[in-house]
Amino acid sequence: MLARFLDEREVRLLAAAEAECIGRGGISMVEEATGVSRRRIALGKKELSQGRLEKGRTRRPGGGRKKIIEKDATLEQDLELLLEPCTRGDPESPLRWTSKSLRNLARELSAMGHSIGKSAVGRILETMGFSLQANRKTLEGSSHEDRDAQFRHISSTAQAFFKDGQPVISVDAKKKELIGKYKNAGREYHPQGTPEEVNVYDFMDKQLGKGIPYGVYDTAKNEAWVSVGIDHDTASFAVESIRRWWHCMGRDSYPDAKRLLITADSGGSNGSRVRLWKRELQNLADELKLELSVCHLPPGTSKWNKIEHRLFSFIAQNWRGKPLISHEVIVNLIANTTTKTGLTVRCQLDRNQYPRGTKVSDAEFKTIAISRNDFHGEWNYTIKPRCP
């Protein structure tokens, strides 16, 4: 009756005390009645005669079962060889091309002559400083020699626009999303045993199509506009998204604006080498009567674009685990994205067609009123409105 309330030491001391009171044959009687082994009862009697253990201990130092790595001298070394076959182990290691799960590690250690289970492997790995690790995106490849200088240029240019009360926006296209019952990364709460069912294969439904979110983030106001396209991510679609932001949000926020600074990646539909991007910006400058200054991020630094971590990351959190079954669902989920810092987002579906392959001739390109900055003019330039 008391056993479940007592620790290991208290059980053996109680059993030993009972055996001592019984006298001759007491150990056998207590063993039969309680299930405590003769060895433990004898040890308890010895402890009773010697006095109490140290406070907080149930066994004397060195007592108890020996750890497996103490009994098996080569176990830890063999485990390290399995974990690092490329640097320290045999290049023909059986785990070189397989998952290093606890079950696989235990199986290979057993094949090497060690008697061990997966739980013991997990405990040993923890003492060795190992833990479960996911891939981390940190390698950006080679960087441009003026990478940091370009970031400083973007920052100083933006500060000058802020000081003058002129708008500064960050633009980019989010990854394309398939419309329909497709798996979306992340999890959300459902009644237990009733996960939302989605398609096994991610083949695009030709009737439902895809959604292409293109975002415009106002860095000063912490506001954003997202156009969800249904055709192609082209420069025409990118500039149309900026146009819609201006008419729906920017014009009211900056009624006295004369200039607009656009920060964008060096690639994609708003790339620094895309002629169509510059032609469409010229048309927009003529229409809005605004000087459009553009600063491109250096190659290989798209993740540093403010829109990535101030807008797109929160959109992904807001729709995690939700199948995007229609364009309306995408629009509503984006429009309801908020943050503790007060981010507000407006979103609209763009049903226009934006065919790929539009060419801009040399003659047409020469009509663009573009002035390039002395510092990396291919990244930093201004397009002014042309006279009527």
Residue 85's pLDDT is 55
For residue 344, the model assigns a pLDDT of: 95
Q: What is the pLDDT of residue 219?
A: 94
User: pTM score > 0.85 for this model?
Assistant: no
Over the stretch 74-117, which tens digit does the pLDDT of each residue have?
888 888 888 775 444 455 555 555 567 889 889 989 998 999 99
What pLDDT does residue 325 have? 92
Two structure tokens written together for 387: 């006279």
Angle, alpha carbons 80-85-130 (nearest 5°): 40
Position 193 scores a pLDDT of 81
In which residue ranges of the chain is pLDDT below 50? 86-89
pLDDT of residue 89: 42
C-alpha closest to that of 41 among 51, 24, 26 = 26
